[in-house]
Amino acid sequence: MSLCPEIFRPDACPTESKVNYDPERLVEVKSLFPMFVKLDGRQVLVVGAGRVSEPKIRGLLPTGAKIRVIALEATEAVREWAHNGEIILEERGFVLSDLDNVFLVVVATSSRDLNELIYHEARPRRILCNVVDVPEQCDFYYPAVVQRGDLQIAISTSGQSPSLAQKLRQQLERQFGPGYAHWVAALGETRRRVLASSLNPERKRDLLRSLASEEAFEAVLDAESKTNGRSDAI
């Protein structure tokens, strides 16, 4: 496999300039296991800092991950995040040692050879890898997400149809409006109070279920509406 010398420096590790291609790795994924991963304090590498990488990096910013970006060029937004200390940006070519101590890597360069190299080098290192827009070179996928404060609804088609995932996201955004952010925050505070109370366990469960009902949500929205109305009138 020929590597892109402008991005990957073979002199840094000349004995590993070829990918050990294993066709058995490219098997059809039967079923994905949905989960939310804690990245706080973990080393995350992003290779590429263009328009494709930018939203991937943006999505990582609130996680508390230690984000390092390797790229020959970067968008203004990526440079701004680096200037603010939110990420570490190194504008240079990728070398294999960049994968050392990494938990997760996101790859989005213009070189298919480099992207594939990083994927195959990440596997034996037990690094979770996502090569953007190449499903067969992904250990995980970026889902379409509806975000309402601490409420997150993730939609995935296992890479089969990102367009359908986005369409479903738009539908869910209309169904779960911005009011859910305040409600979920209030539920969290109330839950902590209930769990710390002297109520018996069965009563606690019943109370928490009732607080998460549709009627309770509508009551919260109604109270907020009245409060905002009074504020506007002042």
Longest dimension (CA), the chain: 73
Domain boundaries, the chain: 10-141, 143-177, 182-233
More confident residue, 89 or 213: 89
Pick the CATH number of 10-141 from 3.10.450.30, 3.40.50.150, 3.40.50.970, 3.40.50.720: 3.40.50.720
Distance CA 93, CA 43 (A): 19
Distance CA 22, CA 9 (A): 23
Which of these ranges, 72-81, 94-103, 149-158, 222-231, has the smallest mean pLDDT? 222-231
Distance CA 156, CA 176 (A): 18
List helix spans (H) across 61-145.
76-83, 112-122
Q: Considering the chain, what is the average pLDDT of its residues?
A: 84
Is residue 130 within 8 Å of residue 138, measured between CB atoms? yes
Q: What per-residue confidence (pLDDT) applies to 218?
A: 77
Q: What per-residue confidence (pLDDT) applies to 19?
A: 37
Torsion sign, CA atoms 9, 6, 111, 53: positive
Indicate the pLDDT class of residue 112, thresholds 50, 70 and 90.
very high
Topology at the third CATH level for domain 143-177: Double Stranded RNA Binding Domain (3.30.160)
Distance CA 102, CA 68 (A): 10
